[in-house]
Amino acid sequence: MRNAPTILHLDMDAFFASVEQASKPSLRGKAVVVGGLGPRGVVATASYEARVFGVNSAMPMAQARRRAPNAAYLVPRFTVYRSISEQVMALLRELSPLVEPLSLDEAFVDLEAGGTAWDEESARLAGVRLRADIRAVTGLTGSVGLAASKMLAKIASEQAKPDGLVLIEPGTERALLAPMTVRTLPGVGPATGDHLRRAGITTVEELAEAGEDELVRLLGKAHGHALYAMALAHDDRPVVAEREAKSVSVEDTYDVDIHDRLRVGLEVQRLADRCVGRLRGAGLSGRTIVLKVRRYDFSTLTRSETLRGPTDDPAVIREAAARLLEAVDTTGGVRLLGVGVTGLADYTQEDLFAQAAQPHSAGAVEAAPVAAVAEAVPEPEEPAERHWRAGQDVRHTEYGPGWVQGSGLGRVTVRFETPQSPPGRVRTFSVGDPALEAGEPLPLVLDPGLTLSPTRPTPPSGHIAVPGAG
């Protein structure tokens, strides 16, 4: 393990909820919960104000509503979150070529590999400047942990929450870890934690005192060795630069099981189109089409078909997904559907549109060509009412941009405000009001010409410390 605390872990604070609060001035300082709003929805992120009431990520939404009935409950806006995440990751890549994203809002950075930090002072300076740059570019806050290893850097960022920076000084690691619960360590989940508790081990200090032989006896060779090393604050895992995507997929969970076969077919076609949108957005194509179906009894089936070459053609992918669906019994009802593409490449084989007319490999399901599928699964009629979802961006021809607070009984309530405005006024309209339409997300920060603080100091000869940022 290196000696200098040059591994940085960034965790954006309550990311989805913080984006919504920054977008909607009337929600700042208030409880906000983002997630699926249907009966089977779960919490994706809760603001710190909502966490006071015991609302946490992955909690059933119904339980969250009981605990915090007055919170604002909003659908996720993943396009917005992804865009802001890309801005944050770009700032991290200015620090080092070794950036390991863990999710949209979390990543490790090897500062030493980028020449950005080489000792405690330069590491702290890089962390301070990064947090300032994130706030300047996105308007949001992030918590930074700095340490000599990935495990300790992540622990430090947890201690820094919210909106802080913690650096673990070399030589203090074991004293810091000793009183912490064993669940703090990577690889110790509920089952392993319970197993250790039954053996009388609840803290990291007790884990170290148990000794390597005892941990191997309790947990097996690989797990026992790894946990003993971590209990001694040893973690040699490197920061691994972002890996290429192995697959692109989309899926939807339905509030009410779908029984109608035509509806299931329409949903698969819609998911295939969304999947193609993601493929093209990433400049990719793929050879293997995958269909995922979770049935009424929670059994999950996957079916796949490999094409002759990579494609991003929506007709080809729709057709392959329809063929795969033919092999799945959905008569009992469907809870979840997904369409994915694997075997990714950065090029497309142009002659794949003729797939329907060609014989397929053994085991593939034969089906009608695209035209026949289109006849069997007609396009849905335009709905009589538009459906507005809480948190959705909208625009009114008279009142301008706003967001949906709620809808029902043929009415939709909209609050008109922008990220830069004071809390706005609320107005109610008919759901079919022609003056109201879906809107584009507004930027959280308006000035694109921000001058960011320097984030890459040059180490002088001998790594003499530069002035700190306090």
Catalytic residues: 106
Q: Which long-range contacts (CB under 8 A, 24 or more apart) does 186-192 make?
A: 186/151, 186/154, 186/230, 187/223, 187/226, 187/227, 187/230, 188/227, 192/219, 192/223
Is 105 known to sit in a ligand binding site? yes
CA nearest 61: which of 98, 25, 35? 35
Cβ–Cβ under 8 Å, residues 19 and 393: no
Residue with tokens 């993601």: 278
Is 297 known to sit in a ligand binding site? no
Residue 58 makes CB contacts below 8 A (sequence gap 6+) with 42, 43
Which pairing describes strands 393-396 and 400-408: parallel, antiparallel, or unpaired? antiparallel
Using the CB atoms, write b or e for 82-98: b if 16+ within 10 Å. Answer: eebbeebbebbbebbeb
Q: In Å, how far are 39, 90, 95, 417, 418 from 423, measured between CA atoms? A: 30, 31, 36, 6, 8
**Binding-site residue set for Mg(2+):** 11, 105
**Binding-site residue set:** 11, 105
